[in-house]
Amino acid sequence: MASSRPLPGCSWNIRSDGGQPMTMPPPASTLADVAAVLDSAPANRRRTLVILICFAIVAIEGFDAAIIGFVAPQITAHFHSTPGQTSAAIGAGMLGLLIGYLAGGIWSDKRGRRPALAAGTALFGLACIGCAFSAALPQLIGWRLATGIGIGIAMPPIGALLAEVLPSGRRASTLTAVFCGFLLGSALAGLLTGLLIERIGWEGLFVLGGVAPLLCLPAVLARVPESPMYLAHRGAESARVRQALARLGIAVDAATQFLAPRTQTGQANGSVRGLFSPALIRTTVLLWAIMFLILGSFYVIASWLPTLIREGGASVAAASRTAALFQSGGLAGAVVAALAIRRVPPLRYVGAAWLLGAALPLWIAAPAATPVYAVLVFCAGFLVSGPIVVVNAVMAMAYPTPVRSIGAGWASSAGRLGSFAGAGSVGWLVQHGLALHQLIAGMAVTVLASALIVLFLSRSMRASGG
């Protein structure tokens, strides 16, 4: 039978009779800390299956988010629109992500990880199918907005759920590996477009992207439990906590009552004000700054590097191949990061990688048709893009259970604002006299700033015991 003592300075909340939580000292042997139970339980098939289901959904989200960019030329031809008009569908998806992250974080913390995940998965699956049956470009734009909202709703509960059911020793590396699925799905979108576009058209690719999450939905409902940590913090009856643990393959004595330490945010579940409590305001501000700066840098480079290489005299095909190395390097960097942070503190790894990679935008801003340039582009993706998935994992771990999803979701929204501000402002700045190579080179400053903020956040979290 599990038992535990409260952490120093913490009291315990117990609710075994369905009434209001009561603060009381723990008995000697009948009370258990649900976090300790989850942390001490060995790996098993049921917990592994939950991880795999979440990975699959994240990969499909990456596919559905990226597919619009690969089929944009076919959509332009189909609707007899201009590239600028078609770009509104791309922008609608990004706007939907921002809205979804904001809403999904609140929903997940107020109503639970499982319902938010299921609803978001269903929405982006149905909306992606809707894209395939759009009769006009405005309809497609609306469906892309809904797709982005669905993806945004589903992402925060995935991070929160896994952060709350994984053992502490494997939490950061496993979360990072799961978020690598988004990059894998994005890469698969390009691969499958090349293989299938002539056979099934752009409409068929959207149907594929919509059917896949709907096929995962029964697995979410049947195999993914509500977070036991979430239930305990909400004061749920111990029987519900035991049931959630059982669905994770963790058996607990029926007489055990579950406890959760009272959090120090002073806010209810899903409260935005909780992010700015004295205990969390520094973490919140620093994470928002990091996400804004680094995703802005990423989207400037990823969106405009092909154009810069073509301006250097390369053909469209050659420019696309070289620029694709930035994405390939990002995927490789994410995989290496997931392995590295098993031994190295996650934020230290990120800070070191960005310090090493800060100069690379200066070098790739001067394109050349040489193998060395191709290696530099790959390294830029490896060191700048790859570590972003580690920050995504840290966001899910940096906040206590009552505001975990909203903390991660709203930090992700700050990143989406950065991507809008970064990629969207380049065209305006070029029109007003700045050269494209100067703007890409300028990303060295934002990457360096991100590295310094990450290292400061790492030091701050260590000092506060986070």
pLDDT at 9: 35
Count of alpha carbons within 13 angstroms of residue 324, beta-carbon side: 13
Which range among 27-41, 192-206, 367-381, 438-452 shows the weakest confidence by mean pLDDT? 27-41
Q: Model confidence at 349, in pLDDT bands (50, 70, 90)? A: very high
Higher-pLDDT residue of 465, 187? 187
pLDDT at 142: 96
For residue 413, what is the enclosing H or E element? helix 404-431
pLDDT at 260: 61
Q: Model confidence at 152, in pLDDT bands (50, 70, 90)? A: very high
CB atoms within 10 A of CB 371: 8
Q: Would the pLDDT of 4 be above 50?
A: no
Which residues have CB under 8 Å from 459's CB, separation 6+? none
Listed residue (173, 180, 156, 49) closest to 107, CA to CA: 156
pLDDT at 67: 86
Higher-pLDDT residue of 72, 102? 102
pLDDT at 27: 47
Which residues have CB under 8 Å from 388's CB, separation 6+? 294, 295, 298, 330, 334
Q: Would the pLDDT of 10 be above 80?
A: no
Listed residue (253, 214, 66, 74) closest to 144, CA to CA: 66
Q: Would the pLDDT of 153 be above 70?
A: yes
pLDDT at 26: 46
pLDDT at 263: 52
Higher-pLDDT residue of 264, 127? 127
Handedness of CA 16, 22, 28, 34 (dihedral sign): positive
Mean pLDDT, to the nearest integer, of 209-220? 96
Q: Model confidence at 361, in pLDDT bands (50, 70, 90)? A: very high
pLDDT at 267: 53
- What amino acid occupies position 248? L
Which tokens hold the place of 430? 């070029």
Residue boundaries of the structural domains of the chain: 30-260, 273-465
Q: Determine whether domain 273-465 maps to CATH 1.10.10.10.
A: no
Mean pLDDT, to the nearest integer, of 306-320? 79
Mean pLDDT, to the nearest integer, of 179-208? 89
Q: Would the pLDDT of 261 be above 60?
A: no
pLDDT at 121: 96
Q: Would the pLDDT of 2 be above 60?
A: no
**398-455 pLDDT tens trace:** 888 888 989 999 999 999 898 888 766 877 787 777 888 888 899 999 999 999 999 9
Averaged pLDDT of the chain: 85
Q: Would the pLDDT of 178 be above 70?
A: yes
Mean pLDDT, to the nearest integer, of 268-286? 84
Q: Model confidence at 123, in pLDDT bands (50, 70, 90)? A: very high
30-260 and 273-465 agree in CATH topology: yes
pLDDT at 434: 82
Q: How far is residue 296's CA from residue 284's CA, in Å, rounded to a whole number? A: 18
Q: Would the pLDDT of 171 be above 50?
A: yes
Q: Would the pLDDT of 28 be above 70?
A: no
Please give the order of strands across the beta sheet that includes 257-261. 22-23, 12-14, 257-261, 31-33
**202-213 pLDDT tens trace:** 999 999 999 999
Q: How far is residue 268's CA from residue 294's CA, in Å, rounded to a whole number? A: 31
Which residues have CB under 8 Å from 126's CB, separation 6+? 150, 210, 214
Mean pLDDT, to the nearest integer, of 71-99? 86
CATH architecture of 30-260: Up-down Bundle (1.20)
Q: Would the pLDDT of 25 be above 80?
A: no
pLDDT at 15: 41
Higher-pLDDT residue of 330, 18? 330
Q: Would the pLDDT of 464 be above 80?
A: no
